[in-house]
Structure 1
């Protein structure tokens, strides 16, 4: 009887066979390219500014447009997966990302690059939620944790590899290769998906919520464009009309769905759940801090210390190494250690500790100290963000997992886009006044303040999660 009791848990937790491991690695390959495109661009900003004769507030749209497109396409992902099947929708997203990457590499102006970055983002936006839906289909909930652990590899590897690869490509070849390198990798991901990932048929029924698509996919970019221009040296009309239009679209749609009782693309009722609402807020704020830093740090070393693109990429690597080191511990702690709330609060404290040295640093400051600070910052970001994937679904029923994933993914991309845009505007304004050190100090202060707001949000997480 004791032998049966001892073997019962193993029967309840089937392992990952070779097929499931292979599927996870294929999904990692596609997601890795999408994540790489969010990190590799940071070291190319200076080269793009010089090539196109543009300011940082303009060049940052090469990053922001990508993230906005990511956020805009996510609401369609759930419908596409239901209509065509998650695997077919995933393959289509890879094809769009491949086309966008090739076009970015052939860009002839900053405007064309921004447009093609939108195409990239439209392809990449569906990959993250679709990969989770494919995992649920092929592995089931009982093996989802281990599959997601394998798929966490790109999230921790991209911040290490992206800036270094980008630095090498920009310095030794051309900024164009930052995008062209994606093409053979994505071709391989498409072929492997068609060959090895099961393609369940879609329902073939249902229509997307057209009003929701227009409101969310149109309102978010307009709202963020207006917010990014707010405070810049630009005519009031350049930020007032998109801010007003975005607010009207999103606010009007929210009121309409609330009064009609229809679920809509984003189920607003989910935010009545405290754990879910707090987790989404932390995902938004965490990505704000993460992407703002990914934009600022390479520029700090390029403009402040005269480093080249490769030097700036290597300078950012300690943050990625800190994230990689922390993720190996965070998974175990989430299962058997302190509460997610405690981990998030501790992580946010480390993020602040790792950012303050940049607030105080001078252009020719101690590089070793800043490298240590970035490592600490990377550890903190992992502990601040990773546990929210556990608390996100803490008290939600299984049938709301897909809706929760969509809403959270939108918040993450919006946070990253807004973080990049805000610090770019702050930095550009002070650089225009001729103060390099003051510009970077003010921009890094923005991330510290955002971390403080995230700390307050983390206090609302349930203690038992």
Structure 2
């Protein structure tokens, strides 16, 4: 993300107040943020529906999330260069159009492959909306009002995790899964008209060159590696060429990118920043945390839908306590980050996450909803006090142009961590479910044997199936096995959360002297966009 300075406010102007012109621009950016943030959380409750509609494994449909976040990671480093080259207004409207067109195409998908491809297109637009929108707002209001701007942008960031699953569940229940994408069309068209009228005219100023070679190595490398990982449950073994060939090619491309990235003057990702010890520690902490938290987070709605037989709307409502918890602590954590070193606050937030997470390692087919929702709320409290302080701590030690490059790096790490987490957790869950006992003489539409867990999950969505099963204990055993499969997957995520305590122990526990004024307690922290 590119950070631009603007002229100081005129004498007599209120330094902190956001005037009507700035609020008009902020309205455009908030509309785009609502679309892009809601789309991530809305789709999370639709994954079991995609499994049923397209007769695909969980690991396969999880690519509707993985492909989207990989596309986000691809365009985030591109956005700063493109904004200088083509102008922020033009680029923002292109991003809105791409996202809206991608949403419309998603609703027309006839296969899971088509849906994944259209989600990638959607992600290419969505990935530019937040960083370009932040650049537009910073230029309009100036860095001296960035705190107020972040409060405005914080509205969709806080409400997205709460409203997204509920909206997605309601739309699927009352209409169909197509509407979780179709709803973006009127909002997108409104945002395009609004952007044309409200955003200031472009004044492109081409600056540094774009690292095309770096992008051609990093993005395909990550996609190939994750494709190999996600193919493992269907292949059944690492020795299958469809597993090890893309994984090997992916690793080779990523390693080549790392070696190459130290050569260009303006690399796609400035890995030289890892010479900064605090940024390195924060990056490792963030990556491990995101893999565990975001990866397992996709499984919560699936547990409610597949094991407990809830409707998609109820699943969305049951997940809401996590977003409410984050909404409570995120403003507090933002205030504390300016006054207390993160090494003294983040460990306590992480303890809350670990405590809440442990409940899910014990889930069964009839675990108390009061216990589950309480645990989600506690996890949300911890999450609100973890991510933003870690990222802010990392960027606080950077100065000048390093801030923009560091912000890009941290956002990329966040997206890659989310992609890896989604792929890994879906693979583990699919592999666990595949271990269920097959029912003799019963095969599915694809010719594969039907397992007890598969039959039980299908019966939760189609109660008439349960009435046709001569042995009711099959359903009970299947649900118990499915719950155990979720619990085993949550154990892996829980172990990763505990592993996060290792790098967290090295986060700064006292203020360090620096030339940057942002290092001093009580001063505003560096703005960070979390997508």
Pairwise same-fold verdict (TM > 0.5) = yes
Counterparts of residues 43-54 of structure 1 (less than 5 Å): 43-54=45-56
2 CA distance for matches of 1:200 and 1:346?
46
- Contact between 2:214 and 2:261, CA under 8 Å: does it hold in 1? no
* Structure 1 position 55, deviation (Å): 1.4
1 CA distance for matches of 2:129 and 2:290?
17
* Structure 1 position 223, deviation (Å): 2.5
User: Which residue of the partner structure matches residue 318 of structure 1?
Assistant: 321
1 CA distance for matches of 2:98 and 2:282?
30
Structure ranking higher in helix proportion: 1
* Structure 1 position 229, deviation (Å): 3.9
User: Which residue of the partner structure matches residue 247 of structure 2?
Assistant: 243
User: Which residue of the partner structure matches residue 267 of structure 2?
Assistant: 264
| Secondary structure in 2 matching 1:360 | coil
User: Which residue of the partner structure matches residue 256 of structure 2?
Assistant: 252
Counterparts of residues 138-177 of structure 1 (less than 5 Å): 138-177=140-179
* Structure 1 position 339, deviation (Å): 2.2
Counterparts of residues 20-169 of structure 1 (less than 5 Å): 20-169=22-171
2 CA distance for matches of 1:228 and 1:358?
23
Matched, 1:304 2:307: yes
1 CA distance for matches of 2:134 and 2:284?
21
2 CA distance for matches of 1:130 and 1:362?
44
Judged with a 3 Å threshold, the aligned counterparts in structure 2 of structure 1 residues 20 and 289 are, in CA distance, closer, same or farther, namely: farther
1 CA distance for matches of 2:274 and 2:288?
16
Match of 1:423 among 425, 449, 453: 425
- Higher Cα Rg, which structure: 2
Judged with a 3 Å threshold, the aligned counterparts in structure 2 of structure 1 residues 257 and 56 are, in CA distance, closer, same or farther, namely: closer
1 CA distance for matches of 2:201 and 2:278?
33
Judged with a 3 Å threshold, the aligned counterparts in structure 2 of structure 1 residues 256 and 329 are, in CA distance, closer, same or farther, namely: closer
Matched, 1:332 2:343: no
Runs of 4+ in 1 over 6 A off after TM superposition: none
Matched, 1:283 2:294: no
Match of 1:188 among 190, 198, 209: 190
| Secondary structure in 1 matching 2:385 | helix
User: Which residue of the partner structure matches residue 382 of structure 1?
Assistant: 384
Judged with a 3 Å threshold, the aligned counterparts in structure 2 of structure 1 residues 200 and 98 are, in CA distance, closer, same or farther, namely: same
Q: TM-score, normalised by structure 2?
A: 0.81
Aligned length: 454
* Structure 1 position 199, deviation (Å): 4.0
2 CA distance for matches of 1:73 and 1:218?
13
Q: Give the unaligned 5+ runs of structure 1.
A: 1-9
| Secondary structure in 1 matching 2:338 | helix
Judged with a 3 Å threshold, the aligned counterparts in structure 2 of structure 1 residues 346 and 12 are, in CA distance, closer, same or farther, namely: farther
Deviations 1:258-291 (A, max 9, x none): 2x35331111111111222233333323332342
- Contact between 2:32 and 2:130, CA under 8 Å: does it hold in 1? no
User: Which residue of the partner structure matches residue 298 of structure 2?
Assistant: 295
2 CA distance for matches of 1:89 and 1:283?
29
2 CA distance for matches of 1:168 and 1:84?
39
Judged with a 3 Å threshold, the aligned counterparts in structure 2 of structure 1 residues 205 and 398 are, in CA distance, closer, same or farther, namely: closer
User: Structure 1 stretch 288-297 or stretch 30-39: which is displaced more?
Assistant: 288-297
Judged with a 3 Å threshold, the aligned counterparts in structure 2 of structure 1 residues 262 and 246 are, in CA distance, closer, same or farther, namely: farther
Deviations 1:104-131 (A, max 9, x none): 0111111110110110111111122222
Matched, 1:445 2:491: yes
Judged with a 3 Å threshold, the aligned counterparts in structure 2 of structure 1 residues 257 and 325 are, in CA distance, closer, same or farther, namely: closer
* Structure 1 position 36, deviation (Å): 1.1
